[in-house]
């Protein structure tokens, strides 16, 4: 799948996107961290954002809804490093947040290097409150959080400064302050920090 990932990166570049990659060796935490990707308003966020993940990480993984893992797409996604998550509405069958967090933490305990991408909005619709699973995963696994962006206004992909988990509310504030509506593919589907109250617990 390495060849496919390289072709994917080349395609994104040919589409006019700039990958703001760090100098080699300058950000070693990229090899073991939780990447936060936002704003998430379009399926293109993954298509384009994945290029950055694969360009700067040797073992990048992405959580994707289980419904996408049908034949022949399922084996293809697994080969790319995607992890299926069950988001069905039937509560008796739904994987809880605690289960997802535990699954991710287990992955970190078994794999080194390992980087996981999380979209805390968990939907492409406008959402006031973000899910706190990304912070819980980083905190329990003892790895840093790296906020990343897919900026449709400037057609750039990159990462902000690394955050080490300390306090959920203050860390979430730091992350959410980084993102603005005009970065999104569909700005009306993204809610900025100034429009919400940040919860104290994940």
What kind and span of H or E run contains 99? helix 97-110
| Residue 23 falls inside a structural domain | no
How many domains would you assign to the chain? 1
What are the beta bridge partners of residue 17?
Answer: none
Q: How many residues does the chain have?
A: 202
| Residue 150 falls inside a structural domain | yes
Q: Which domain holds residue 102?
A: 2-18+28-194
Please list, in sequence order, all residues whose beta carbon lies within 8 angstroms of the beta carbon of residue 84, skipping any fewer than 6 positions away: 63, 64, 65, 66, 68, 69, 74, 77
What is the band of 153 on the pLDDT scale with cuts at 50, 70, 90?
Answer: very high
What is the band of 93 on the pLDDT scale with cuts at 50, 70, 90?
Answer: very low
| Residue 202 falls inside a structural domain | no
What are the beta bridge partners of residue 146?
Answer: 35
| Residue 72 falls inside a structural domain | yes
For residue 120, what pLDDT is reported? 87
Please list, in sequence order, all residues whose beta carbon lies within 8 angstroms of the beta carbon of residue 129, skipping any fewer than 6 positions away: 196, 199
| Residue 43 falls inside a structural domain | yes
| Residue 114 falls inside a structural domain | yes
Which of 21-30, 103-112, 157-166 is most confident?
157-166
CB 103 within 8 A of CB 94: no
What DSSP line would sit under 185-197, residue for residue? Answer: SSGGG---GGGS-
| Residue 200 falls inside a structural domain | no
| Residue 51 falls inside a structural domain | yes
Q: What is the DSSP letter of 182?
A: G
């Amino acid at each position: 799948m390495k060849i496919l990932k390289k072709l994917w990166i080349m395609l994104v570049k040919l589409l006019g996107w700039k990958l703001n990659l760090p100098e080699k060796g300058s950000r070693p935490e990229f090899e073991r961290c939780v990447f936060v990707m936002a704003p998430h308003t379009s399926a293109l966020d993954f298509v384009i954002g994945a290029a950055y993940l694969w360009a700067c990480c040797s073992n990048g993984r992405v959580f994707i809804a289980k419904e996408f893992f049908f034949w022949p797409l399922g084996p293809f996604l697994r080969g790319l490093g995607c992890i299926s998550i069950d988001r069905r509405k039937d509560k008796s069958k739904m994987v809880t947040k605690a289960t997802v967090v535990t699954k991710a933490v287990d992955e970190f305990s078994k794999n080194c290097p390992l980087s996981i991408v999380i979209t805390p909005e968990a939907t492409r619709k406008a959402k006031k409150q973000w899910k706190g699973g990304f912070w819980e995963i980083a905190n329990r696994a003892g790895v840093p959080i790296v906020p990343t962006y897919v900026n449709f206004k400037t057609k750039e992909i990159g990462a902000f400064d690394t955050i080490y988990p300390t306090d959920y509310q203050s860390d979430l504030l730091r992350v959410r302050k980084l993102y603005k509506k005009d970065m999104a593919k569909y700005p009306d589907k993204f809610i900025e920090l100034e429009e919400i109250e940040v919860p104290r617990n994940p």
